[in-house]
Structure 1
């Protein structure tokens, strides 16, 4: 069995981890911070449809849980499946959000680096939204 190269990308957020999890687990809010879903998600039974440049992807999320797991399985129109491991854990009075980026077998160095940069940007956006909203500066929550 061959494993894929992996990179764990994380950000610390000055907000109670349960608030962070609740925001991230609200799938309709994901387009606010997850650029790959910027066109939105539409519910379809137990899955969500995410339109994108490669067609409609089907997204299945981990059920609500008390462990901060926001994993999701993305199935592309061509049948390829990508597991996205996304976790929120307590970090002092705040939270640590971690995304495990797996390098797909057909992905070159530049594309893997570009994907990592996108994930960093998305997590930074999430941090900004959640830290600003706790002070009443934003009302997107």
Structure 2
């Protein structure tokens, strides 16, 4: 398969990047800001189950690390796998959070735009939570 079109969606957060990473890497807190996981996550061995309108998805997260990598592989109920590249890097005294959105085969322009808007909304929620509290 040739490379898929991609879009980097990012936001700056006025919190130390290590604090941002620690919050994001706590998988039980993801439903607080990642609306696609708003029904919660349940741990099952090395994976997490995420119920959704199309059935349960299985999520496997990258291991804890010192590099700000919060990647996760999502396996949908139909078996399709989606690699979500999510990074936190230092940006001055704060952090830059970057999500690489891939345009999956067969996805229309409108669907890709909807996915991008969804990610932008989730990153705005993350920013709001982390800048308004000591979460």
TM norm structure 1: 0.95
Q: Give 1:40 shift.
A: 0.3
Give 1:77 shift. Answer: 1.1
Q: Distance in 2 between matches of 1:100 and 1:75?
A: 17
What's the Cα RMSD here?
A: 0.6
Residue 20 of structure 1 corresponds to which residue in structure 2? 20
Whole-Å separation in 1 of the counterparts to 2:107 and 2:36: 17
2:113 aligned with 1:113, yes or no? Answer: yes
Alpha-carbon distance between aligned partners in 2 of 1:42 and 1:105, rounded to the nearest angstrom: 29
Task: Return 5+ residue gaps in structure 2 as ranges.
Answer: none
Give yes or no for the alignment of 1:84 onto 2:63.
Answer: no
Deviations 1:71-102 (A, max 9, x none): 00000111100000000000000000000000
2-structure distance, mates of 1:110, 1:7: 14
Q: Which residue of structure 2 lines up, in the alignment, with residue 11 of structure 1?
A: 11
What is the DSSP-based 3-state SS (H/G/I as helix, E as strand, rest coil) of the residue aligned with 1:31? Answer: helix
TM-score scaled by length of structure 2: 0.99
1:94 correspondence with 2:107 = no
* Equivalent in the alignment of 1:137: none
- The Cα shift of 1:43 comes to 0.1
Count of aligned pairs: 135
Counterparts of 1:62 and 1:75, CA distance in 2: 14
Q: Which runs of 4+ in 1 moved over 3 A?
A: none
CA distance in 2, matches of 1:17, 1:61: 19
